[in-house]
């Protein structure tokens, strides 16, 4: 799935993946998340999850679309500072900073020493080959981290992603060597995903707590 696809989604307001309130699985998991200073949110969009996380952490987001970044701060009624950094623009206001640009060219310094990751919309947004690269980057740039991951699973042959189905087996394969705990399953069959209809025979959203420490 190329960058142009997602840029067009934001340009044309095709935001069926966007929630109006913080994700219930994030709300449920908050009490058990590590008490650290900062949290990294890849492919963050303008998610209301950022506001909830900002009540507990300094939030560092990564987002491809400038529209999403501008909308997030505008809808919050604030004017962010903006700085150019090579291929990225840094939006910042109080507890939230968002690096606007390609996740795969994110400066390593942007996430240096971060020990918590929240992923509700990144892994499931990427096709298989990019999921591999995404996880490799996370584990390289954040060598000691805990992730709250929200995944989606459905019969992939019944629907063309994104969002893509990511099975339990794939999660264990991608994060091999990490400590992986499933926190919850929510059956969304017949209910849809976010604001999108999802006509599949099975649709399950799951939350995971994943911790790793690179052996380097």
pLDDT at 1: 52
What proportion of the chain, given as a percentage, has pLDDT over 90?
81
- Residue 21: Cβ within 10 Å count: 10
What digits encode the pLDDT tens for the residues 7-56?
Answer: 677 677 666 677 889 999 999 999 999 999 999 999 999 999 999 999 99
Per-domain residue ranges for the chain? 3-213
Q: What is the average pLDDT across 52-72?
A: 96
Distances (CA, A) of 155 to 32, 100, 158, 193: 31, 33, 6, 14
Residue 159 DSSP label? S
215, pLDDT greater than 60: no
Q: Are strands 58-63 and 96-100 parallel, antiparallel or unpaired?
A: parallel
Q: What is the average pLDDT across 170-186?
A: 97
Residues whose CB falls within 8 Å of the CB of residue 14, separated by 6 or more in sequence, listed in order: 8
2, pLDDT greater than 50: yes
- Residue 112: Cβ within 10 Å count: 10
Give the three-state DSSP class for 176. coil
pLDDT at 17: 72
Q: Say what angle helices 3-11 and 66-75 make with each other, to 10 degrees.
A: 40
Burial 136-167 (b: 16+ CB within 10 A, else e): ebbbebbeebbbbbbbbbbeeeebebbbbbbe
Question: What is the Cα–Cα distance from 144 to 155, expressed in whole angstroms?
Answer: 33
pLDDT at 35: 95
Q: What is the average pLDDT across 146-155?
A: 97
Question: What is the Cα–Cα distance from 199 to 209, expressed in whole angstroms?
Answer: 28
Q: Are strands 116-119 and 58-63 parallel, antiparallel or unpaired?
A: unpaired
Q: What is the average pLDDT across 149-170?
A: 94
Cα within 13 Å of Cα(173), Cβ side? 8
Average pLDDT, the chain: 92
Assigned fold of 3-213: Rossmann fold (3.40.50)
What digits encode the pLDDT tens for the residues 85-142?
Answer: 989 999 999 999 999 999 999 999 999 999 999 999 999 999 999 999 999 999 999 9
pLDDT at 192: 74
pLDDT at 216: 46
pLDDT at 3: 75
């Amino acid at each position: 799935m190329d960058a142009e696809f997602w840029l067009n989604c934001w340009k044309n307001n095709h935001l069926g993946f966007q929630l109006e309130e913080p994700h219930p699985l994030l709300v449920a998991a908050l009490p058990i998340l590590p008490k650290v200073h900062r949290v990294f949110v890849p492919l963050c969009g303008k998610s209301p999850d950022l506001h909830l996380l900002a009540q507990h952490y300094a939030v560092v987001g990564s987002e491809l679309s400038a529209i999403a970044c501008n909308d997030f701060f505008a809808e919050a009624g604030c004017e962010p500072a903006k700085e150019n950094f090579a291929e990225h623009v840094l939006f910042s206001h109080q507890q939230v900073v968002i690096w606007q640009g390609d996740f795969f060219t994110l400066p390593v310094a942007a996430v240096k020493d971060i020990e918590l990751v929240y992923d509700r919309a990144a892994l499931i947004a990427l096709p298989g080959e990019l999921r591999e690269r995404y996880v490799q980057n996370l584990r390289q740039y954040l060598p000691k981290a805990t992730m709250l991951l929200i995944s989606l699973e459905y019969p992939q042959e019944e629907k063309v992603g994104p969002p893509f189905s990511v099975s339990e087996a794939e999660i264990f394969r991608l994060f091999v060597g990490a400590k992986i705990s499933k926190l919850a399953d929510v059956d969304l069959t017949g209910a849809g995903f976010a604001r999108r209809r999802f006509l599949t025979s099975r649709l399950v959203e799951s939350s995971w707590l994943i911790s790793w420490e690179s052996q380097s």
